[in-house]
Structure 1
Amino acid sequence: MPKINGNEIRPGYVLEHDGHLWAAVKVDHVKPGKGGAFAQVELKNLRTGSKLNERFRSEDKVERASLENRDMQFLYVDDGQMIFMDTESYEQIQLDAELLGDRRPFLQDGMTIVVEFFGDEALNARLPAKVICEIAETEPVVKGQTAAKSFKPAVLDNGVRVAVPPFVGQGERIVVNTDTMEYSERA
């Protein structure tokens, strides 16, 4: 694995630190009035999910791990395990449902996601940035309520609660941002 200086760390980098794999979530470059500059990095353990705040000076060397991204198509769920098929080799693999976390309800049949592998171990899964969902229930539209920038609660067909603009009604299809789990636009 290539070594990089502490001041070269960017959000999204995967680092091997203290014998574990960590993803850099947030990076702040600090130059205090006294002493040398450093990078304050918030790290997330890719295996356990725990977080760590670490300081790296510019002369510190850190190993940057390279992950292999593979496109995988979702097939079905079997005993809490999600079955995916590699779109290139057509090989089927099982992944734990916890890999997607709270974004799991947005996974739809036949959806292609990106799974990040370190060797043969799946560490992370990324859904498409936007997913189309249908509104299962929401409050009815009240005439004249669209003047103010307000939102009303809605439940999607997958059971997730989101806030939607007042003009969106039950049965309509909307685009939901899977990173923030918020309404994006009408479909």
Structure 2
Amino acid sequence: MPKINGNEIKAGFVLEHDAGLWAAVKVNIVKPGKGGAFAQVELKNLRDGRKLNERFRSEDKVERVTLENKDQQFLYEVDGMLVFMDNETFEQIELPADLLGDRRPFLQDGMMATVEYYGDEALSMRLPQKVKCRIVETEPVQKGQTAANSFKPAILDNGVRIMIPPFIAVDEEIIVHTELMEYSERA
């Protein structure tokens, strides 16, 4: 694994620090009037989700870790474990459902997800940025109401509550942004 200087850390880098794997969430380069510059880095532990603020001087050396991304197809869920298939080797693997956190309801049968591995250990999972969902419950459409900065609550077919524009009705399909968990557009 390559070592990098403390001032070369960028947001999104994965570092091996304090016997753990940490993702750099925010990086702020500070140049005080006296002394050398340093990087104030907000880190998030990839295994347990803890957060840490750390200061790295330019002469500090840290290990940069490269994670392997694999696209895998979701098959089914059993006892809190998600079963995925590697499309290259057709090998099936089980991953804990809590890797997705609150985005779990957006995972659909047959969907492709990107799983990040460190060796054989799965650390995180990314869903497609946008998914199609159906509205199952919302307030009725009101005539004459425009879409300008007004939203109403709705429940999707996967049970998630989001805010949608007033012109969307029950049984309509919409596109939902999975990272932000909000309405994107009509399907």
TM-score range, shorter chain: over 0.9
Q: 4+ runs of 1 displaced by more than 6 Å?
A: none
Q: For 2:35 and 2:103, locate their aligned partners in 1 and report how far apart those are by CA, in whole Å.
A: 43
3-state DSSP class of the match of 1:93?
Answer: strand
- What letter matches 2:177 in structure 1? N
Q: For 2:27 and 2:105, locate their aligned partners in 1 and report how far apart those are by CA, in whole Å.
A: 30
3-state DSSP class of the match of 2:98?
Answer: helix
Query: 1:118 is matched with which residue?
Result: 118
**Contact in 1 for aligned 2:147/2:166 (Cα 8 Å):** no
| Residue 47 of structure 1: how far off its partner (Å) | 0.6
CA deviation map 1:9-56 (0-9, x unaligned):
111111000110001111111222222211111111011111111111
Query: Which residues of structure 1 form unaligned runs of 5+?
Result: none
**Contact in 1 for aligned 2:147/2:165 (Cα 8 Å):** no
| Residue 147 of structure 1: how far off its partner (Å) | 6.0
Query: 2:179 is matched with which residue?
Result: 179
**Contact in 1 for aligned 2:24/2:41 (Cα 8 Å):** yes
Question: Taking structure 1 as the reference length, what is the TM-score of the superposition?
Answer: 0.97
Q: For 2:26 and 2:37, locate their aligned partners in 1 and report how far apart those are by CA, in whole Å.
A: 17
- What letter matches 2:111 in structure 1? M
Identity of aligned residues (%): 73
Structure 1 position 47 matched with structure 2 position 39: no
Structure 1 position 32 matched with structure 2 position 27: no
CA deviation map 1:137-162 (0-9, x unaligned):
11111112216421111111000011
C-alpha RMSD of the superposition: 1.0
Alignment of 1:50-89 (within 5 A): 50-89=50-89
Query: 2:169 is matched with which residue?
Result: 169
CA deviation map 1:84-120 (0-9, x unaligned):
0001111000000111000000000000000000010
Change (3 A) 1:115 1:147: closer
Query: 1:135 is matched with which residue?
Result: 135
- How many correspondences in the alignment? 187
- What letter matches 1:150 in structure 2? S
Query: 2:92 is matched with which residue?
Result: 92
Query: 1:145 is matched with which residue?
Result: 145
Structure 1 position 158 matched with structure 2 position 150: no
Question: Taking structure 2 as the reference length, what is the TM-score of the superposition?
Answer: 0.97
